[in-house]
Amino acid sequence: MTENDNSHSILIVDDNHNNLEVLSETLTRAGFQISVAIDGENALEQIQYYKPELILLDVMMPGIDGYQTCQRIKSNPDTFDIPIIFMTALSDTEHKVRGFALGAVDYITKPFQREEVLARVRVQLQLRNLARTLEGQNRMLKKEILQRERVESSLTKLNQELEKRVEERTQKLSRTLKTLRQAQVELVQQKKDLEIRVRERTAELAKSMADAEKANQAKSQFLANMSHELRTPMNAIIGYSEMLMEEAEDVGQDDFIPDLNKIHGAGKHLLNLINDILDLSKIEAGRMELYLENFNIKSLIGETVSTIRPLIEKNQNTLETNLADNLDVMHADLTKVRQSLFNLLSNASKFTKKGKIILDVSSQAIDKRQFVVFRVKDTGIGMNPEQMGKLFQAFTQADASTTRKYGGTGLGLAITKKFCQMMGGDIKVESEPGIGSTFIIHLPVQVIDSSKEKSSKSLDATKLKTDSKSGKKNTILVIDDDPTIHDLLRRFLGKKGFEVKTAKTGAEGVRLAKTLQPEAITLDVMMPGMDGWSVLTSLKAHPQTADIPVIMMTMVDDQNLGYALGATEYLLKPIDGKKLETILDRFKTTSKSNSIMVVEDDPGIREMLCRQLKAEQWKVIEAENGKEALLKLQSCSPGLILSDLMMPEMDGFELVHRLKQDQRLCSIPVVILTAKTITTQDRQKMHGRVSKIFEKGSYQRSILFDEVNNLLEEAISRKQERADSIAAT
């Protein structure tokens, strides 16, 4: 039921028209909306259609009286809340009380005062408004409360749900955590298992390696034994048949000789076969090693030619040898080169009859590297392409029948090819049937044993740190009376990044050494005036120059010969204990071994040195001279060798020379003890010694330069290591 918008509508119920009029007028004038009813029924009817805000109700009326009307109004839920003010003349308390009991809100007695009526009406209306407002607010509040309650209950429900979910999640997490912990335990266990397995596997591997190494050793030992075992009876067959032939000749029984010769020949053939098979087995087992050394090519050719001559003449062939002029020394495996050459020449002799064999030896540069080329050309039976294809394969001579006809083992070329390849070279063939064959071997002049990973270190001054103070390039001082040598060394070392300064005399050299403080000095041994030794002693005697590394060398330009003394340091005698200590300290930091070899023939000096060294916790190996030193060096590898120069049997020169030739020993640093005062005799001896070694070990210039290279590098890098280790402490 909608509230009527019109403000303040009042229903007046009175059977007295006068009253109705007066009241009506009064209230209308006060601004109220008025509707009237003349009796109770009328009023009730009106109220159905139009609900007033207040009813002024007369008590005494015909029909239903006021009280009844009031009762009816109050019992109707639609209308019970309308404020009713009774109007009546009956003013006694009993009626008033009755009226109030029925639900009236007020009572006006007749005759009424207008003002009083208005006032009471206004008050009641106010009250009613207030009541309604309150009701409205109440309802709103109730609504709000309901809403709140609903929200609360939702929240509670949500909360419960959340708690349930949290509970579930927590359980899940704890389960996961448990699983993870388990997994972790398992992982730790697996790790332990793996470690055990790794350890086992490593042990297995180590054992396999040890086994393989043992097998390898066994193989090598077998080859060595076989070698010996097979050759021994062969020697007997060959030797005895030779001997018997000699003795038969002696007693005049010449007719035995052809048969004995056959035995001899067969024995030699068998021996060759055995040697070739053993060689090939060794190569295939990977046990064939290179033994590199310097040797003179001309001498080798001479030797080989004289050995092969009988074989050549056997088939009435001629041998022509052509050697290039610039051939000199080569650094290779002498035995293998000899064997290969011999193989080619012997093949040429075998397959040529009454023909010509030419041996050409020359040098050639291939890809900036120097090679020696051996060419053996014959006018023999030659080969067709098919035969050439099988040539270098083991166990197939070009044709099986040729073995029978021409002899040989069919293995020679296979071995030769392998040898050439091992040394970094190769062999090839050109041939025409009926015309002849040409075999060409090319080998590096400087063979490098790649299996030992010993690459010829090329000195690169840029790799070495420059002097941090001056920031300039490493300076080398060359002291030599021959200006050509200055030029050569300047060009060579300059290319390596060095600054080369030169001095023509010993005196000038010493002066320059003091002012320049070079990184290293090369010193010519054979100089007129102040010779190399004097310069050396002078340098070592002055504190400013004593620490500069000196490479003693000498070169004879026109003969392409040169020699460098491969000593690392020089110490003056009588030996200054402090100086010795300084040198030892240097080697302490860089050497791995704590043993020193002392080579000195003077027992007094030797004893003193040993004492000092032992005091410094070095282990000392003594030798009286070079020969003894080398002998002892067979079974030891000291970290340093201190050697006197002048000794009997084998002097310091020879010792150093020999050491440099040995692959194992060449890296041991050598400190030479030289006398402060050198007698003329000694000097002559020294010069003589040097020139002797000169001849023995004379190098081609390039090889010499490389040697100087290496010595310089060693000396300078050792200096740097020292400087670094000092800086690091």
Binding interface with another protein (CB under 8 A): 223-224, 227-228, 231-232, 234-236, 238-240, 242-243, 246-247, 250, 271, 289-291, 333, 335, 627, 630-631, 633-634, 658, 661-662
Q: CB of 288: closest distance to another protein in angstroms?
A: 9
Q: In terms of residues, how long is the chain?
A: 729
Cα Rg, the chain, nearest whole Å: 64
For 587-635, the DSSP string reads HHHH-S--EEEEE-S-HHHHHHHHHHHHHTT-EEEEESSHHHHHHHHTS
Between the alpha carbon of residue 434 and those of residues 380, 383, 519, 705, the distances in Å are: 7, 8, 65, 48
> Among residues 215 and 236, whose Cβ is nearest to another protein?
236
Provide the β-strand partners of residue 320.
358
Q: CB of 649: closest distance to another protein in angstroms?
A: 9
> Among residues 192 and 452, whose Cβ is nearest to another protein?
452
> Among residues 232 and 468, whose Cβ is nearest to another protein?
232
Question: Which residue pairs, CB below 8 angstroms and at least 24 apart, start in 255-258?
Answer: none
What amino acid occupies position 340? Answer: S
Q: CB of 528: closest distance to another protein in angstroms?
A: 36
CB 242 within 8 A of CB 248: no
Q: CB of 659: closest distance to another protein in angstroms?
A: 11
Q: For helices 532-541 and 506-516, what crossing angle results, to 10°?
A: 30
> Among residues 51 and 336, whose Cβ is nearest to another protein?
336
The Cα–Cα gap between 653 and 673 comes to 11
Burial 659-670 (b: 16+ CB within 10 A, else e): bbeeeebeebbb
> Among residues 231 and 375, whose Cβ is nearest to another protein?
231
Helix (H), strand (E) at residue 129 = helix 114-250
Q: CB of 307: closest distance to another protein in angstroms?
A: 9
Q: CB of 495: closest distance to another protein in angstroms?
A: 35
Q: Within 10 Å of residue 119's Cβ, how many Cβ atoms? A: 12
CB 326 within 8 A of CB 360: no
Q: Within 10 Å of residue 726's Cβ, how many Cβ atoms? A: 10
CB 499 within 8 A of CB 476: yes
Q: CB of 631: closest distance to another protein in angstroms?
A: 6
Backbone angles phi, psi at 467, to 5 degrees: -55, 115
The first and second tokens of residue 394, run together, are 């083991």
> Among residues 433 and 648, whose Cβ is nearest to another protein?
648
**In this structure, what DSSP letter does residue 557 have?**
G
Residues in contact with 574: Cβ distance below 8 Å, sequence separation at least 6, in sequence order: 676
642: left (phi over 0), alpha (psi -120 to 50) or beta: beta
> Among residues 41 and 303, whose Cβ is nearest to another protein?
303
Question: ∠ CA(312), CA(338), CA(313), 5° rounding?
Answer: 5
CA 126 from centroid of its chain's CA atoms: 102
> Among residues 266 and 631, whose Cβ is nearest to another protein?
631
> Among residues 50 and 222, whose Cβ is nearest to another protein?
222
Q: CB of 235: closest distance to another protein in angstroms?
A: 4
> Among residues 272 and 595, whose Cβ is nearest to another protein?
272
> Among residues 158 and 224, whose Cβ is nearest to another protein?
224
> Among residues 555 and 630, whose Cβ is nearest to another protein?
630
Q: CB of 356: closest distance to another protein in angstroms?
A: 27
The Cα–Cα gap between 632 and 618 comes to 17
Q: CB of 294: closest distance to another protein in angstroms?
A: 13
Q: CB of 333: closest distance to another protein in angstroms?
A: 8
CB 404 within 8 A of CB 387: no
Q: CB of 221: closest distance to another protein in angstroms?
A: 10
